[in-house]
Each structure stands twice: as C-alpha cells, then as structure tokens.
Structure 1
Amino acid sequence: MSGKVQENQRQRAPSKRSLATRDRIFDAAEQLFAERGFEGASIRDIAKAAGVQGALVNHHGGSKEALFTTVVARRAEELAQLRQDALAAAKAAGSLTLHQVLTCFIAPFIDRTLHGGPTWSAYGRLIAHVSSDIRWQHIAQRYFDPTMEIFLAEIAVLLPDASQQKIGAHFIFMVSAMLALCTSRWRISGLEDGATTQDLTATLLDFCAAGFQA
C-alpha cells in the first residue's frame, strides 16, 4: 500500500480553527438549551449564536438530540473527577463523616456553576433540565449515575440502618436542592439577605445531612 493511500485512510486531526469552531458551537448550544430547553433552542438559533452556518452545527454536533447529549457530556467527566478527587482526599485525611461525603459531592458543583463563569452557569441550568425530564434518563444514567453510585456506597457505610431505597430517595432530594441553589440563587438570596455562596452552601449541606439522618 502506497504512502499516499495510507495518508488518505488516516484520520486527520482537526485543526485549531475547527476545534475553536466546535467549541463555539457547543458553548452556544449550552447557553440556548439552558435558557430555552430542548424544544426552544433550534439548530438555526444555535448556528446564529455561534456565528456559523447550520451545516457546521450538524457537522460538529450531529442531530439536535446528539448535540444536546454531547453538550451535557463534555463537562460531566470533569465534574465527576472533581467529586471523586475530593472524596479521595477526604478519605485519605481520616475517617469520613456524612457531612464530608455530602460536601465532596455538592461543593464542586456549586463552585463551578456559581463561580466558573457563564458557561458553567449555563451548564448548571442545563443539568436541571436533564434531571427533571424523564426522556433524558439515559443521559443521566450514563454520565452521572456512576459517580452517584460511588457516593451512595459511602453513605450506606455511614448509615448502616438505613435502607438502600431510603438513601437513594434522600440522594435525589439532595440533588434537587443542590440544583435549586444553582438555578434559583436570586430567589434564595432575596429571602436570606446578605448570604454568601459559602453561607448558602453550608445551609444546604446541613439541610441535606439532617434529611439523610431523619
């Protein structure tokens, strides 16, 4: 086989320009999906926001549903790693408490979505859409459940008398409360004048820990 044929068969690495275009499309999709939901964000709107032709959105993202999945997935791995690293560090420091385990799960998400800039802020709202719509169950199962299972196992060790069903239900309640803090901070801050993110996170953690132990 000639070198030319081999070169033609070899998959070319995307150029910097192509990668920049792809990221711009994904950022635009993330923002619009977060603001309008899946139905409200059209491929045409995403292309316009990214400053590209609609064909490029299809090229980089595939179908609208595939694009939605990709946008959710691209930050999920980083978030999972942050949570697992925090848990590993806490375990290395000594015996775990329930409050520590919950902190390792909640704090990375709060920190990124409230202090990670507009893209992470949009991602927090996007995850709220995923969490509340059963059609995205397959996305949650693939990208978020593996990390959830790790934390459920740690909580079960700390609460040996609690049933798996009860722990699982409380975990979902916790996730809902965490998402509410990220998506409705303006409402919560209005009720708790002057509260900082640290204050609100501490309140959330106390609330969730008490719920698990109820």
Structure 2
Amino acid sequence: MQTKTRILDAAERVFSQHGFDGATIRDIAAEAGVPAGLVHHHGGGKEELFHRTVARRAQELSQLRLEALATRKAAGPMALRDVVCCFLEPYVRMAREGGPQWLAYARLVAHVSADPRWRGLAAEWFDPTMGRFIDEIAALHPGVPRRAVATGFVYSVAAMLAHVTSGWRIAALAGEQEATAVAEDLVTFCAAGVEAALRPH
C-alpha cells in the first residue's frame, strides 16, 4: 500500500508539471524511487495511471464538498454565496493544510479541465458533484437557463485553481514578499461572477 501511494504521489507531481503528454512512466518511476515495472504493476499503463491519479483525490474532495453543502442546508435557507462557498472552501482548505500534493493536484485538475480529450474523466469524477451544486444555484434562480449557471460555475472553478496555484503572482503584482491569497476574497469574487452570469436572464 505504501508503494502504491508513493507511486500515485509521484505520478501526481510529474503529471502536474509536464501534463499527460510530457510525462513518462520512467519519469514517474524515478520520482517514486521504484523500478518502472512496479509503476505498471500498481498503476497500469500511462493513461490508466493518469485516471487513477485524478480519481484518488476527486473522491475525497467530492465528499468534503457535499458534506459542507449538507451542513449548510441543515442550518437554514441558503444564498448563492453559501453554495459557492461550500464548493470552493473545502479545496482551498486542503490546498492550504493538506500538504504540497494538494497543490500538485490543482495543477493536474487544470490539465484535465483544459483538454477536451479528458471529457469522460471529468464526467465521471467531477461532473456529478458540480451538477449537484449547479442544481442548488438553479433552484435559487428559477427560470435562469442552466447554461448561464454552468458558465458562472466553470469560471469559478478556474478562479479557484488560480487562487491555489498563483498566489505568488498576486504577491508579485502587489509588490509583496509573500503570497497572502484569502479564501474569503475568492468566494466574494466567484459569487459576484456567478451573479453576473445569471443577471442577463
């Protein structure tokens, strides 16, 4: 089990740095400190390993998001900002507190989101949870086309990935020495963006 975890961690780092096409099984084996044969044994071929690497944290993240949503709904009526927060905050928290692998995972998700060939992977591991949150927003704004909600939500995911991986750019442009991106700022920005996407309708 430890060897499999080490291989998946290494795959996460290598895929996040080089993308699917730039990564090799040999690179992943070297990063994990194991023979290439062990990578094949625990992860299969490169595409299967990519799928397993994406799926591993997607399950945990989905559970955290749905738990946050259920807890908030139990507390009383929700606003759009609450729904957006329940989706974004769990990942931002894991990226901050869960160690560097969660940062690598953000870059990996960015690769998946940007490449239509991973449509099936996204549909399996991300879309059911995103669909649940889109349903919640749509229920708050009856009559608004689902496309408008989906547009605002996809833009919000892109902002979340930028928030997690590009805090250093904010710091550089602000003339600061250290990245100090704040989750509350992200939620405010994304909630306003979703509202703007819904407003014409």
> TM-score, normalized by length of structure 1?
0.86
Give the gaps of 5 or more residues in structure 1: 1-18
Which segment drifts farther, 122-131 or 161-170? 161-170
In structure 1, the partner of 2:96 is 114
Measured in 2, the distance between the counterparts of 1:49 and 1:208 equals: 36
Residue aligning to 2:158? 176
Q: 2:115 aligns with which of 116, 122, 133?
A: 133
- Deviation, 1:162, is 2.0
Q: Which TM-score applies when normalising by structure 2?
A: 0.92
| 1:74 counterpart residue number | 56
CA 1:184–1:196 in 2, change beyond 3 Å: closer, same or farther? closer
Summarize the alignment of residues 35-114 of structure 1 with structure 2, pairs less than 5 Å apart.
35-114=17-96
Aligned with 1:52: secondary structure? coil
Answering whether residue 149 of structure 2 is matched by residue 167 of structure 1, we say: yes
Moved more, 20-29 or 108-117: 108-117
Aligned to 1:148: 130
CA distance, structure 2, for counterparts of residue 191 and residue 148 of structure 1:
32
Residue 158 (structure 1) aligned with residue 140 (structure 2): yes
Cα offsets for 1:78-107 (capped at 9, x unmatched): 000000000000001111111110000000
Q: Which has more radius of gyration?
A: 1
- Asked whether the equivalents of residues 125 and 182 of structure 1 are also in contact (C-alpha less than 8 Å), the reply is no
* Deviations 1:128-167, CA, capped at 9 Å, x for gaps: 1111111111111000000011101100111224211111
Corresponding letter in the other structure for 1:165: R
Runs ≥4 residues deviating over 2 A: 189-197
Aligned match of 1:196: 180
Taking the aligned partners of 1:189 and 1:110, their CA distance within structure 2 comes to 17
Aligned residues: 194
Structure 1 distance, partners of 2:163, 2:39, is 32
1:195 CA drift (Å): 6.6
- Range 53-62 or range 181-190, more displaced: 181-190
Distance 1:69 1:88, change over 3 A: same
Unaligned runs of 5+ residues in structure 2 are 197-201
Change (3 A) 1:114 1:125: farther
- Answer whether contact 1:99 1:209 (CA < 8 A) is retained: yes
CA distance in 1, matches of 2:136, 2:180: 29
Aligned pair 1:210/2:197, yes or no? no
Deviates further, 203-212 or 103-112: 203-212
Same amino acid, percent of matched pairs: 52
Q: Distance in 1 between matches of 2:163 and 2:37?
A: 37
Does the 8 A contact of 1:152 with 1:168 survive in 2?
yes
